Each structure stands twice: as structure tokens, then as C-alpha cells.
A and B are shown apart, each in its own frame.
Chain A
């Protein structure tokens, strides 16, 4: 089955700096890669996703890049703000897997004002 590894497990940055979280996956059939943000006391919420036919996607301060050959994808947050502090999860799934996703173990991002 699919295996997703996420690094780092914790990340602390100063407000205004950039943050990068990286994930690798094992199953070359995976073709959909969402990123979720979980704030304290809430469930994870989708913040951005990318499909395997695209190498990069951007939405304001967040971007995701995908390298299918190396089987890794990354989340980039620029100009970080204290409200970006949360746990971030990457995930991978394929359309042969009945809607199931395999999640990374999460990254706790702290943005210091």
C-alpha cells in the first residue's frame, strides 16, 4: 500500500519568513495530493491540492510543488503570519483506491510574532 512520509514534524519560523513542508510517497499510482490545515480544536481543512498532471499550483501565499519522478511534493507558505500556526497534513491518493487517502504524520508549524 501507499506510504507517505512528512518532514519536519515541527517547524518554528519568525513572522514574515517562509515555511516549507515536504512529503514523499511510495506508490507511483498516486495522482492526487491534498494539503490540510488543522487548527486547535478543529478538524483538518483542505487548503490546497494538486493533481499529477500539474507541477505547481499557487493560491495567494501558499503554493504546492510536485515532482512525480522523485515522488515528492512540498507545501510553501510565504510571508507567514501568526494565524498560520497550526498542524499541517499532506496526503496522497489514487483513483484506484475508492476515495481513500494516506496521510503524513503532520507538521506543527509555529509562527512567532
Chain B
């Protein structure tokens, strides 16, 4: 079974802090994704990566950056945390099969509160 592990279930940080959210997958997947989930807004894509050191902006990248130095690890960085970044953050991964889309496998989320 694919396992996507997010380093923290709950995190509380202060406004202006630099925050790191870590995600590790164990299935050698090429694609990795970061979403935020807010009530009534579904899953919104922040950034994704289709290979090591490759990244692309999603729908809401402002205030965030990412790092993918190793294939199994994808980090989300809040450069200067603000209260409107309080949310549930979900990491996902998927394999890349030429011409054939594959499902995404999600971690259990990090609930981040910015005070």
C-alpha cells in the first residue's frame, strides 16, 4: 500500500514565522502535490512537482514556496506565516504512466493554526 506521511498532524505557529511542512511518500512516485482544504472550498492546489527539483505553481501559490530535493520528499514553506494561512494542508503523490492518468494518494493532513 502507498503511504504518504505528513510530519505533523497539528501545528501552531505565530504570525511572521517561517513554517515548514514536510511530506514523504514511499512508492517512488514522480508527482507530488500540496493542497489546502477549507470548509466549502474543496481542495485547492498550491504547488505540485513532477520530478526532483521541478515545481509548478498551482491555483493559490501566493505566500508559499516548495522544495523537492529528493524524489520521496516534498516540502511546503510558508515564508512569513499569516493568519489567513490557517488551514488544513494535504499532501498527495501519484505515479506517472505515459498517457494514463493515475489516482492521487493522500496523507492525513496537517492542521496548521497561525496565531
Contacts and interface: CB of A to CB of B under 8 A. Distances in A.
Interface of A: 6, 9, 31-32, 34, 36, 41-46, 49, 51, 89, 93-95, 98-101, 103-106
Interface residues of B, number: 28
Given A41-B108, A42-B108, A104 B56 contact: no
B96 interface: yes
Task: Decide if the interface of chain A is mainly helix, strand, loop or mixed.
Answer: loop
Interface of B: 4, 30-31, 33, 40-43, 45, 48, 50, 56, 58, 90, 92, 94, 96, 99-109
A105 B104 contact: no
Given A41-B108, A43-B108, A100-B48, A95 B42 contact: no
13 contacts: A36-B106, A43-B106, A44-B104, A46-B103, A46-B105, A89-B42, A99-B31, A99-B48, A99-B50, A99-B94, A100-B45, A101-B104, A105-B42
